[in-house]
């Protein structure tokens, strides 16, 4: 047994035994290779270092109630990685190879999958980088796919609770015709200053508005936004947000639970009318929002008076997490059992 304090594990990097790699050379992807090295030897003129040819994914493997290992919607991550690669002109990694690589890296590191009941899980990080040397601004001709895993602790250490968010008008994460819909490192670099300012102010996350008019809700940090009112789950439609697989799943579950669902532009003032609000993504599933401060206008939008998450957020969170841990019926066949 490995000596890890699963319940107090942070969201950080823990060395595991193996990673899986694949090289794109001469116009094609090679065979999957298993490596125990944490390093990537690379040419100093690689396009990922200069021109941001880098895309990644984030998904999780769970040790279920029945002790089985579950992977959640990996075909969705495979497809999104392809879209991200195409978006920044990198070679697209084949869907079946992606699934094979993820299964392989999870199995090889099985001893790092946290036990059921700890709330912890195995985070899986696939990435594609341009490794070919290039000084002119154009796509590389060589790429590397790597997938590694790292055990991560429960997102909510003190239980499922709301946290405060803050609106920024000083920074944009992505532009409407830019790369916001792709999961690429460049968008994260663009978000670091806003994230740091929010953290300094004591907020857990930053809330972005649309880049053109600053009138509509875009995303919160690296998570999608949703609001709830009149038994309706409402999430923004925008061409600068990342299509979250968690959000897509919550939309389906909300309908399944009898809610109405809407994906449409949400004006900032509409925040006033929501009974519940949350941020969603793989890391937390749902991070319920207590209030959102608009410091420029001295305004606070409050969604929880006592810090407790609302009933729909709680129900959706429990159902999705329950499916991932094999406690609830997997009604939409999302989990693959390894």
Ligand X SMILES: *Cc1c(COP(=O)(O)O)cnc(C)c1O
Site residues for ligand X per CB under 6 A: 58, 183, 219, 222-224, 242, 244-247, 281-282
State the residue for tokens 């709330």. Answer: 119
Residue whose CB is less far from ligand X, 91 or 280 = 280
Residue whose CB is less far from ligand X, 248 or 315 = 248
* Nearest alpha carbon to residue 19 among 35, 39, 40: 35
Phi, psi of 169 (to 5 degrees): -120, 0
Min dist CB 221 to ligand X, Å, is: 8
Q: What is the chain's percent helix, strand, coil content, to nearest 5?
A: 25, 30, 45
Q: Which residues contact 9 (CB under 8 A, 6 or more apart)?
A: 114, 120, 151, 152, 153
Residue whose CB is less far from ligand X, 162 or 246 = 246
Q: Which residues contact 13 (CB under 8 A, 6 or more apart)?
A: 150
* Nearest alpha carbon to residue 145 among 202, 191, 78: 78
- DSSP, res 37: -
Phi, psi of 185 (to 5 degrees): -55, -35
Min dist CB 98 to ligand X, Å, is: 14
Structural tokens at position 224: 């999608």
Min dist CB 226 to ligand X, Å, is: 11
Min dist CB 102 to ligand X, Å, is: 14
Beta bridge partners of 206: 166
Min dist CB 196 to ligand X, Å, is: 16
The helix/strand/coil state of 274 is: coil
Q: How far apart are the first and last CA of the chain?
A: 20
Q: Rounded CA gap, 187 and 282, in Å?
A: 17
- DSSP, res 275: S
Q: Rounded CA gap, 147 and 224, in Å?
A: 24
Cα distances (angstroms) measured from residue 267 to each of 43, 66, 161:
47, 44, 26
Q: Which residues contact 333 (CB under 8 A, 6 or more apart)?
A: none
Residue whose CB is less far from ligand X, 58 or 94 = 58
Active site residues: 183
Q: Rounded CA gap, 44 and 90, in Å?
A: 18
Residue whose CB is less far from ligand X, 244 or 304 = 244
Min dist CB 191 to ligand X, Å, is: 8
Min dist CB 174 to ligand X, Å, is: 8
């Amino acid at each position: 047994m490995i000596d890890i304090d699963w319940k107090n594990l942070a969201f950080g990097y823990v060395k595991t035994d193996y990673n899986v790699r694949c090289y794109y050379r001469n116009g094609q992807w090679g065979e999957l290779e298993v490596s125990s090295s944490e390093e990537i030897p690379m040419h100093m003129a690689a396009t990922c270092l200069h021109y941001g040819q880098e895309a990644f994914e984030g998904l999780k493997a769970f040790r279920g109630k029945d002790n089985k290992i579950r992977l959640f919607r990996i075909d969705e991550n495979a497809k999104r990685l392809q879209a991200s690669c195409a978006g920044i002109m990198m070679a697209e990694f084949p869907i079946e190879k992606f699934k094979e690589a993820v299964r392989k890296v999870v199995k090889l590191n099985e001893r790092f999958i946290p036990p059921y009941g700890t709330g912890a899980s195995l985070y899986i990080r696939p990435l594609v980088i341009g490794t070919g040397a290039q000084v002119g601004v154009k796509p590389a001709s060589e790429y590397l796919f790597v997938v590694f895993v790292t055990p991560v602790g429960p997102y909510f250490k003190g239980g499922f609770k709301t946290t405060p968010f803050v609106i920024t008008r000083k920074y944009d994460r992505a532009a409407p015709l830019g790369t916001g819909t792709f999961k690429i490192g460049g968008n994260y670099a663009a978000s670091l200053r806003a994230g740091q300012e929010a953290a300094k102010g004591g907020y857990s996350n930053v809330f972005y508005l649309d880049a053109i008019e600053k009138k509509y809700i875009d995303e919160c940090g690296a998570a999608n936004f949703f609001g709830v009112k009149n038994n309706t789950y409402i999430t923004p439609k925008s061409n600068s947000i990342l299509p979250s697989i968690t959000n897509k799943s919550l939309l389906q579950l909300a309908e399944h639970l009898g809610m109405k669902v809407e994906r449409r532009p949400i004006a900032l003032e509409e925040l006033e009318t929501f009974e519940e609000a949350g941020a969603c993504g793989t890391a937390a599933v749902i991070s319920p929002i207590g209030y959102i401060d608009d410091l420029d206008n001295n305004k606070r939008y409050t969604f929880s008076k006592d810090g407790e998450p609302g009933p729909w957020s709680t129900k959706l969170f429990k159902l999705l997490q329950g499916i991932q841990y094999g406690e609830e019926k997997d009604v939409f066949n999302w989990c693959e059992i390894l």
